[in-house]
């Protein structure tokens, strides 16, 4: 790409910033689905365990719930980092 004027460079930089903002907002939208996915996973797991008439008090339940808690915490950290980046892009701070 050959940029010939200052206006073209500034326009290209603004376009790249807009694309980054759009990508971050899309990632944030996808991350907002995490609680619903976790809720569906827990309900599905409880239904399967109940269907097979097994106890929910097993090591598999502890591992499953621990993994879900870790996943939600990790997604929240990612969301915080994306929000910081979005704030910097939009407001320059």
pLDDT band at 81 (very low <50, low <70, confident <90, very high): very high
> According to the model, what pLDDT value does residue 20 have?
93
pTM higher than 0.75: no
Report how far Cα 78 is from the mean position of its chain's Cα atoms.
6
pLDDT in tens, 26-67: 999 999 999 999 999 999 988 888 888 777 677 888 898 999
Output Rg (C-alpha) for the chain, integer angstroms. Answer: 22
What is the domain partition of the chain in residue ranges?
6-91
Cβ burial 46-74 (10 Å sphere, 16+ → b, else e): eeebeeeeeeeeeeeeeeeeeebeeeeee
- At 2 the pLDDT is 67
């Amino acid at each position: 790409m050959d940029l010939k004027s200052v206006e073209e460079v500034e326009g290209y930089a603004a376009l790249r910033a807009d694309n980054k903002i759009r990508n971050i907002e899309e990632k944030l939208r996808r991350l907002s689905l995490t609680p619903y996915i976790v809720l569906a996973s827990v309900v599905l797991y409880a239904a399967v365990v109940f269907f097979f008439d097994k106890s929910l008090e097993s090591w598999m339940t502890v591992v499953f719930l621990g993994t879900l808690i870790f996943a939600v915490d990790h997604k929240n950290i990612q969301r915080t980092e994306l929000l910081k980046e979005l704030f910097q892009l939009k407001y320059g701070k």
